Structure 1
Amino acid sequence: MKFSFLLLSVLIISTTTTFSQEIFELTTGLDDPRLRFFFHGFRDFVFNTIGKTSYKTKGVFLQEKFRKNAKFPCDVELGKSREPPKSVHKLRPGDISVIGALGDSLTCSTGAMAERITELSMENRGLSWSIGGQWNWRNATTLPNILKVFNPSLVGYSLDDSFPFHKASQFNLAEIGAVSTDMPFMARALVKRIKNDKRVNFKYDWKIVTISIGGNDICSFLCLMKNPERLPEMHRMALTKTLRYLKNNLPRVFVNIVSVPHVETVIMIRGKPQSCSFIHHGECACWVGSLSNSTKESRERWKKIQRQFISVEEEVAKLDEFRRLDEFAVMYQPFTKNVSLIVDGKRDLSLLSFDCFHLSQKGHAWAGTTLWNNMLEPDNKKTLNWASPQRKLNCPSKEHPYIKTYDNS
């Protein structure tokens, strides 16, 4: 249903405009605030009809669990300061009290436990790699579940299956169908939600926010733009605006920027199940859909634009205006640059959901673990591919106890 609603939006826009503006700058009847009530009602109907899916205990989509009595591999005492630090460049994992996220369906954890097409409409946010806090690090190795070991009082992580207007979503402001230009709005909503939460000491608590967006830009809207080559620069403006807003309005915050993996990694899989081929025509119409008359030449064009899109993220993260500040830092975490489905020489589709596009719970665990690993690695030595939590889980050390920034690496 996610891709059908997105496709409906695209069709309405494409049939009612002349593209004198780019598609991201347009509004339609779907943007009428009065429709929000009905949209939420429809989504609640879908939610209640399908039912929660995130508590399954069997399936290839589940990560390899650690033993119940497995000891956390890190020295927890090294991961927390005796007194809250005054500088983000001396921030340890256990100093983080609040966690949030901005993004699209990958951050929503869409269909992480899906075994059929209808379950792709469920957002298993409690299992999301960057913001899910369901279960614990042993069976859902997400960033929040790792951080909870160092600080059990951490707040903000998604608790359960939920949509963004549900309480269980908490500080996960990601939305299906979201595009880069939605980020400033999401940032404002996130700050408001954190500020109004009585559990948070807004001024003094250290916070972490992970931003990851772009799949819909590249998959569904790029081929509808009047000038697709404008997309990276539009992304630069939206991302810069978002970071400036967070810097000026959210005290004591560390921001991760993570690129969406290259689309061709999942869309151009040879020999994929027929169900995935069908779904990809809705989820990524610019690459494989008949609507956009995709060709080898057009896909090469989209690949080049996506590479530029990703480069922009790293460039913005390194802007001088975000450097050498005491209460704000942003770091580009590059582990998605070389994400591959080849594991021990074989293709492992169990890292993906039923649609061969979104991540499975296993994939979220690999992504959450590698994001954590990136956070403890200096800029020039960061992991560029994901790995199983069982194989690599970095730890703070006496020599290097702090989360890495560009100014303490």
Structure 2
Amino acid sequence: MYRHIYCGLISICVSILFSPSLSFFFQEFPENTRPVNFTHSPFQCPDMSRSPTVPSSVELVKAADIKVIAALGDSLTTAIGANATNVLGIPIEFRHVSWSIGGHGSYQDVITLANIVRLFNPNVLGAAPAKTVHGTSAPLSETGFNLAVTGHNTFNLPGQTRHLIDTLRNYEGLNFDEDWKLLTILIGMNDICDYCKDKVLFSVDNYIHYMTNSLEMLMNEVPRMIVNVVQILPMETLRQVQRPTPGCLLQRSFCSCLIKPGAGSPELKELVEINLEFQKRLEQLLHSDSFFREDFAVVLQPFMKQADPPRLPNDKIDMTFFTHDCFHFTIKGHEELAKGLWNNMFQPEGGKFMVSSFSDPIELICPPMNSANWL
């Protein structure tokens, strides 16, 4: 969720980061909030097999049947700053640890949706293998099918969608017509951040218009696809994510419509209402059969709808979940998002888990036996 206003800062950071004498800024892993030798316990399910034959119906697809994984969105999906060791690392996009598509190591190294799916199908295509730098072009060999773009608003989503469709259609080694594809979309929080700057461009109606346009493109052109559309966060409580550092001052620029208004001000109250309306209208759009056919489905995953920022026992914000800009998530936060998304995927509509606070670690569930239950 970055703003173009940062081009100057980003250019300076990029030149510093690419200096051979300062390559330590690219040092990675272990993630800086946990011990060097940390690994996750293995995750095993009673049935991790694929279907005997490739399913023709979206309702019969098992986790092991997924052959392609992809993601669209903004800086929460590019994982900006997620493993940065200081403020100069904020422009780095740690795509390979992104919650919905990161492909670093294995599940025991980093929990991402892609690494969970790999436990069921080790050969899944598309997991992001590397990091990139905001504002610089990057090949698919670095991004994988993580085609999210830092700073993008919902009006950019149709362009991302076209890029993805063309990429999938032309990618060597991918059977566009036969392979089952899993796409995750999370976008819209930049619209909230920018709302006060242009209330028409970033209106709820435009949010739904561009989301609808993108989903219709996918449905009309891509066979055998399941699309997770993840509900946006309630953003007001992010105002509490503060510490007295230069990095935290960045909040006021890239999400000024949220951060600058005074507590209880009419401007803040309006923004909170708009945030809720975004959530409500997205539910109305997707709680229908508009985006469903035998080999295609769009599913709203609401696990973040009511989420409060993680807190310590003294009720202060747990800053280990947040990057040096006090806004985006560290790997620790990305892992909780990955687990929440995975669980939602195998819970029925009306029974999908919603996180009340990321303070409580999410326990992964196994897909139900003898049933895909994606829908």
Q: State the alpha-carbon separation in 1 of the partners of residues 256 and 361 from structure 2.
A: 36
Match of 1:353, as an amino acid? T
Please name the residue that 2:346 is paired with: 376
Could you say which structure has the higher helix fraction?
A: 1
Please name the residue that 1:336 is paired with: 304
- State, as a whole percentage, how many aligned pairs show the same letter: 29
Cα–Cα, structure 1 residues 301 and 338, in superposed 2: closer, same or farther, change >3 Å?
Answer: same
Alpha-carbon offset, residue 43 of structure 1: 9.4
Please name the residue that 1:246 is paired with: 218
Q: Note if 1:398 corresponds to 2:366.
A: no
Q: State the alpha-carbon separation in 1 of the partners of residues 223 and 342 from structure 2.
A: 22
Match of 2:363, as an amino acid? K
Unpaired runs of at least 5, structure 1 = 10-38
2:280 pairs with 302, 311, 319, which one? 311
Q: State the alpha-carbon separation in 1 of the partners of residues 308 and 36 from structure 2.
A: 17
Q: Is the 8 A contact 2:95 2:128 kept in 1?
A: yes
Greater mean deviation of Cα atoms: 94-103 or 312-321:
312-321
Cα–Cα, structure 1 residues 304 and 135, in superposed 2: closer, same or farther, change >3 Å?
Answer: same
Q: State the alpha-carbon separation in 1 of the partners of residues 34 and 45 from structure 2.
A: 27
Q: State the alpha-carbon separation in 1 of the partners of residues 285 and 27 from structure 2.
A: 35
Cα–Cα, structure 1 residues 267 and 128, in superposed 2: closer, same or farther, change >3 Å?
Answer: same
Cα–Cα, structure 1 residues 364 and 178, in superposed 2: closer, same or farther, change >3 Å?
Answer: same
User: Could you give the per-residue CA deviations for residues 360-396 of structure 1, whole angstroms, max 9, x where no partner exists?
Assistant: 0111011011100110111111111165896511102
Q: State the alpha-carbon separation in 1 of the partners of residues 52 and 336 from structure 2.
A: 31
Cα–Cα, structure 1 residues 44 and 387, in superposed 2: closer, same or farther, change >3 Å?
Answer: closer
Matches within 5 A, 1:1-400: 3=2, 5-6=4-5, 45=15, 48-49=18-19, 51=23, 53=26, 55-57=28-30, 59-60=32-33, 65-67=38-40, 70-77=41-48, 79-163=49-133, 165-166=138-139, 167-219=141-193, 221-227=194-200, 231-269=203-241, 272-289=243-260, 296-323=265-292, 325-343=293-311, 345=313, 346=315, 347-385=317-355, 391-398=362-369
Q: Is the 8 A contact 1:111 1:124 kept in 2?
A: yes
Q: TM-score, normalised by structure 1?
A: 0.81
Give SS of 2:90's match. helix
Q: Is the 8 A contact 2:309 2:359 kept in 1?
A: no
Alpha-carbon offset, residue 316 of structure 1: 1.8
Alpha-carbon offset, residue 404 of structure 1: 1.9
Q: State the alpha-carbon separation in 2 of the partners of residues 294 and 5 from structure 1.
A: 26
Alpha-carbon offset, residue 53 of structure 1: 3.3
Alpha-carbon offset, residue 261 of structure 1: 1.6
**Deviation beyond 6 Å, 4+ runs, structure 1:** 41-44, 61-64, 292-295
Match of 1:395, as an amino acid? C
Cα–Cα, structure 1 residues 58 and 48, in superposed 2: closer, same or farther, change >3 Å?
Answer: same
User: Could you give the per-residue CA deviations for residues 227-282 of structure 1, whole angstroms, max 9, x where no partner exists?
Assistant: 47x6111011101110000011111000001123222222234x533435411111
Q: TM-score, normalised by structure 2?
A: 0.88
Cα–Cα, structure 1 residues 42 and 75, in superposed 2: closer, same or farther, change >3 Å?
Answer: farther
Alpha-carbon offset, residue 169 of structure 1: 0.1
Cα–Cα, structure 1 residues 246 and 43, in superposed 2: closer, same or farther, change >3 Å?
Answer: farther
Alpha-carbon offset, residue 42 of structure 1: 9.2
Cα–Cα, structure 1 residues 392 and 312, in superposed 2: closer, same or farther, change >3 Å?
Answer: same
Q: Is the 8 A contact 1:104 1:174 kept in 2?
A: yes
Cα–Cα, structure 1 residues 335 and 4, in superposed 2: closer, same or farther, change >3 Å?
Answer: closer
Match of 2:32, as an amino acid? G
Cα–Cα, structure 1 residues 351 and 273, in superposed 2: closer, same or farther, change >3 Å?
Answer: same
Alpha-carbon offset, residue 283 of structure 1: 1.8
Count of matched residue positions in the alignment of Structure 1 and Structure 2: 364
